[in-house]
Amino acid sequence: MRNIEFVLLRHILRKQLFLLFGRHLTFLFELVQVSLLSKSIPFPLYWSELLPMKIYKRYLLLLLFLAQSLLTYAQNKDHEVWKIQRTDEILAEDGWINLVGLFWIDQENAFLNPIEKDSLVISNQPSGNTIGTFQIENDSVWFSFNPKLIRQNKELSPGETLQFPVESYRKGGIYYDRWKWTVINRGGQFAMRLRDLEHPGLSEFQPIPYFDYHSTLAIQATFIPKFNETINIPNVLGQVIEWKVMGILKFEIAGEKFELTAVDEEGKLFVIFSDLTNGTETYPTGRYLYVAYPDRTGITTIDFNYAFNPPCAFTEFATCPIPPKVNRLESDVRAGEKSPIGH
């Protein structure tokens, strides 16, 4: 973790150093690295004799910037680490950038066929180049490779492989050539989620823009638990999915009272919300947020600085839930992720 922190602050300072010092950048940048590693800010007066006066004055400005940066970074360290983790998550093998297809599977449409070099499709009949077949049995989905391919490639798994249900989303994936696919269930329907592990978007990805961190938007909230309660939430495909309600979060922004309904997402408190920045500064359909479980007194913190874009902000092949009416805030929440660039 310490190495990550060092890289983060070094990245912040590099741009400022370049603007201030030009060709003296290397010397000053080495100085800053020493400063970071020693956790102190050197201030030798005799450097005025080593550097031109103009550069020395800029160095004094740098000291002020460095002191402010160290203070700001110390306050927002966890948030900076989270932003790096978000990028890693989006670009990961099971992330969102490499998705190239979402194909629905049923008893008839169960054959995985290549239709051209860079595309696969689910068909209702096999072809001469069929890769394999899905079998749906009750609430499970299995995949088996074409025996001809298994004879040609000994690395392919013979027999049937369970693709749904699996212990976690990152399990149950099958690889073939440049492709990887998993099976999901949405509203009782099964679909194959196809990934191109060589997707050009992986190298073209631009960093997600963020609002500046605001401690005032890390808000104390009262959690009112709910039991045996569900809520129907539509997704971008028009399906209506039933979610388990965990409780209601009550809080205030600038003296105005608000409530958000938290649902269960793999054992976490998950909030699907929208606010008045949607469509201008943030993604049009809303954003998501995880909230820590409350303490014994029922108090938790809603930190909107960790609000993040839905997968649909990065791919058309996701099945994102849309904020329910009860979670549409009539307020500007200028914190967390902004709309991604180029999507």
Give the closest residue to 264 by CA, choosing from 302, 226, 218, 313: 226
How is residue 83 written in tokens? 């932003």
Q: According to the model, what pLDDT value does residue 5 have?
A: 53
Q: Three-state SS for 124?
A: coil
Between CA 295 and CA 270, with CA 167 as vertex, the angle to 5 degrees is 35
Q: According to the model, what pLDDT value does residue 23 have?
A: 46
Q: According to the model, what pLDDT value does residue 167 have?
A: 82
What amino acid occupies position 243? Answer: W
Q: According to the model, what pLDDT value does residue 146 have?
A: 96
| Angstrom distance (rounded) from CA 191 to CA 175 | 16
pTM of the model: 0.79
Chunked mean pLDDT (size 10), the chain, 343 residues: 53 49 49 49 48 55 56 72 94 96 97 90 95 96 96 92 86 92 95 96 94 96 98 97 98 96 96 98 98 98 98 97 98 97 77
Q: Are 223 and 298 a contacting pair, CB within 8 Å?
A: yes
Q: What is the DSSP string of 180-244?
A: EEEEEEETTEEEEEEEETT-THHHH--PPPBPPP-GGGEEEEEEEE--S-EEEEEBTTS-EEEEE
Q: What is the DSSP string of 50-63?
A: HS-HHHHHHHHHHH
How is residue 76 written in tokens? 């927002």
Give the closest residue to 326 by CA, choosing from 238, 250, 240: 250
Q: According to the model, what pLDDT value does residue 168 have?
A: 75
